[in-house]
Chain A
Amino acid sequence: MSNRTKLKEAFKAAFPHTIPIFAGFWFLGMTYGIYMNVSGFSFLYPMFMSMTIFAGSVEFVAVSLLLGAFNPLQALAMTLMINARHLFYGISMLDKYRGNGLKDIYLIFGMCDESFSINYTADIPEGIDRGWFMFFVTLLNQCYWVFGATLGGIFGSLIHFNTEGLDFVMTAMFVVIFMEQWMKEKNHISAFVGLGVSLLCLIAFGAENFIIPAMLGILGVLTLLRAPLEKETEVRQ
């Protein structure tokens, strides 16, 4: 297979996986661009920030950081806290995001929730180059995001049609990804731990502060369950 066909095939395989993200990122990116627009920033800000940061939630927070007093250390600390979940993704991707040459650097740079979820769960067909598949998933997702953010920054105040509820596309996508993972695994203990601990932490700490305690809780419970869970996988194998 020539290099060009290899790229084309990988792109064709990757694209359908990113369609839900297209819908979600277009909408969320626009929202972000509009938010920056009404906060008094030129479209160049959402455009460059979506390119260089490429992590949705922290980009929204960055708007309020830019509007507040200059405090670079606080900006760094906030970012580390909000994005700490990437550490989990990285640990899960240690094998997949290695051995793809220079693409690895971009794959790791672009490891947002959605790209991680697709690249972790997708059944890449036989004969498709895995590195290029994951590269295109990441690149397409980032293009959608930058496109939405820039458009929102430019035309922010001009668009009027009822998009209320479109953001549910992200919830729907994560539910599907959760189910795909569920159907693949032999036991569902880890899935239940994730749902249960997160729900408890949400109730205990509230919507704004539950991520970090939830992550620590998940880490703690899974560490405690290591012996039985590893034993079970050995027995099943």
Chain B
Amino acid sequence: MTFTQQIITIGMVVLGTVMTRFVPFLVFPAGKPTPKYIQYLGKVLPAAVFGLLVIYCLKNVSLFAGSHGIPELIGIAVVVGLHLWKRQMLISIAGGTVCYMLLVQFVF
């Protein structure tokens, strides 16, 4: 690929990303009332999307090979436990991550 072709390729990736981010704001402009269906989606989608993102983070975990997803399961249990106990975002995240790192580096 020449340098110009590289710039065009990167430009296309920038264009595609910007499009996915701006389209909803352009399709549903501020002045006009947003359709009820879209308002409904705006309310219920985030909970589902956060669920999707959790699964997305775990997509490469294999239950039937390697460590069988056990370190991930323990790590998540620690995060959930800490968060239910203290409800301090940073403590929950740091605690779970350190626990996971120790598990994958020394145990599994």
Contacts and interface: CB of A to CB of B under 8 A. Distances in A.
Contact of B58 (A48, A109, A171, A197): A171
Contacts of B89: 17, 20, 176, 180
Given A181-B47, A194-B49, A53 B90 contact: no
A83 to B, nearest CB: 4
A213 to B, nearest CB: 11
A214 B76 contact: no
A80 to B, nearest CB: 5
A23 B25 CA distance: 31
Interface class of chain A by DSSP:
helix
A70 B9 CA distance: 7
Contacts of B53: 113, 117, 174, 177-178
B79 to A, nearest CB: 5
Interface residues of B, number: 67
Contacts of A211: 52, 56
Interface string A44-64: 000011001111001100100
B1 A66 contact: yes
Nearest to A77: B16
A109 B25 CA distance: 11
Contacts of B17: 53-55, 58, 79, 83, 86
Interface string B40-63: 111111111111111111111000
Contacts of A210: 59
Interface size class of A (residues with CB under 8 A): 35 or more
B55 A195 contact: yes
Nearest to B26: A90
A204 interface: no
Contacts of B38: 91, 94
A85 interface: yes
A188 B56 contact: no
Interface string A81-105: 0011111111111110111000000
Contact of A190 (B48, B60, B72): B48
Interface of B: 1, 5-6, 8-25, 28, 30, 34, 37-38, 40-60, 71-72, 75-76, 79-80, 83-84, 89-90, 92-94, 96-97, 100-101, 103-105
Interface of A: 16-17, 19-20, 23, 48-49, 52-55, 58-59, 62, 65-66, 69-70, 72-73, 75-80, 83-95, 97-99, 108-109, 111, 113, 117, 120-121, 162, 164-166, 168-182, 185, 188, 190-199, 202, 207, 210-211, 214-215, 218-219, 222-223, 226, 229-230, 233
